[in-house]
Amino acid sequence: MIDRSEYPEMKLGFGLMRLPKLADETIDVEQTSRMVDAFLKAGGTYFDTAFAYPGSEEAIRKALVERYPRESYTLATKLIAQPGDTDEEKLKAEFTTSLERTGAGYFDFYLLHAFQRANYKKYDEYHLWDFVRELKEKGLIKHYGFSFHADPELLEELLEAHPDAEFVQLQINYADMENPGVNSRKNLEICRKYNKPVIVMEPVKGGILADPIDEVKAVFDKENNGLSYAGWALKYVCGLEGIMVALSGMSSFAQMEDNLSFMKDFTPLNAHELDVIKEAQEALNGDQSIACTACHYCTKGCPMNIPIPEIFTVENRKKGSPEFRTKREYTIVTTGRGKASDCIGCGQCEAACPQHLPIISLLEQCRALEG
């Protein structure tokens, strides 16, 4: 199991899903390297990537692995089994590919990724729990656990069936503590019950809480304490009991600088600041925006090649925007790809969505963008 001495000294983890991009949409390795340098200099050590994050594993090899001693950081990556997967050896080969892409030699943390009701049985069916145990015995990984996007009942079932899982990665943020589709509070409580360290994903909900609705901004702005909106979200999460590290998917050097400004010498939110969070949570209750975090898990198997997250972004920005601008943005994101009206209702997107959004009905709503 994970000894507390192995916890990162700084609770901020560098999530590598949303790295900065160049004009050609490839990862900006130069800027990523600058971010890595600043993160390590400030005392950060935990880096999180995944087989399924396009270009991320290769980028972190160039920005981190080839530039720093292996013992100076911890690296996590993930293996994902999708509902339609049928090839056990292909799934297991994801580990070898990740090792080759990163050049890391071994992984400090290895995750069976994105457990949901639609796919959790795949990990038993294809003997992936046995696989990670073997990897640990061979010294190719130090610790294994899983990331989870489902209900508390399934989480408890998994922890009973696999007591050797050393940690759990959960979506936790102040917007989702009582959200019945995410169950942040209940899932965290179950991990505490089973004494499992928690790694937090989506502490700013895919960037939504870094640029929240105006009503939430007003709650934080009146405090005038210099803390960014992302800062409120991250400090809230990192102050919760049982948290080992919280991952921030930083996509610019400026975001790294902001996060380090309040996480390098971290202090939890005080009682008054926690009351401010409660006020922000109440302000969110009236938000009608589509709570998409743009993870793109929904698009990977879409038979109509619909850019679902991009369409939802246009829909969310529609409020207050001139009609011509909204239609122009919609045309840009759908050119050469499927439109909302092309949805055939197959449901694969809803099975893959970590936020459990009713994507089919939301796309029906977004058809109005087509004029």
Q: Which residues of the chain have pLDDT under 70?
A: 319-322, 324
What are the Cα distances from residue 13, in Å, to 48, 260, 266? 7, 11, 13
Domain extent, residue 317, equals 308-370
CB atoms closer than 10 angstroms to residue 14: 27
Residue 301 within any structural domain of the chain: no
Question: Are 12 and 58 found together in one domain?
Answer: yes
Hunting for tokens 């939504």 — which residue is that?
Answer: 208
Q: Which two tokens stand for residue 114?
A: 């994105």
13 and 247 Cβ atoms separated by less than 8 Å: yes
State the pLDDT at residue 320. Answer: 59
State the pLDDT at residue 57. Answer: 98
Question: Are 243 and 336 found together in one domain?
Answer: no
CB atoms closer than 10 angstroms to residue 254: 10
Residue 293 within any structural domain of the chain: no
Contacts of 156 (CB under 8 A, 6+ apart): 190, 194
CA–CA separation, 161 vs 109, rounded Å? 20
- CATH classification at residue 245: 3.20.20.100
Q: Which two tokens stand for residue 349?
A: 């997107």
State the pLDDT at residue 300. Answer: 85
Q: What are phi and psi of 4, to 5 degrees?
A: -60, -25
Question: Are 149 and 108 found together in one domain?
Answer: yes
What secondary structure does DSSP assign to 316-336, as a single string? HHTTTS-HHHHHHHHHHHHTT
46 and 14 Cβ atoms separated by less than 8 Å: yes
What secondary structure does DSSP assign to 233-288, as a single string? HHHHHHTSTTEEEEEE---SHHHHHHHHHHHTT-----HHHHHHHHHHHHHHTT--
| pTM of the predicted model as reported, rounded to 2 decimal places | 0.87
Q: How many domains does the chain have?
A: 2
CA–CA separation, 13 vs 202, rounded Å? 11
Contacts of 134 (CB under 8 A, 6+ apart): none
State the pLDDT at residue 212. Answer: 92
Question: Are 44 and 177 found together in one domain?
Answer: yes
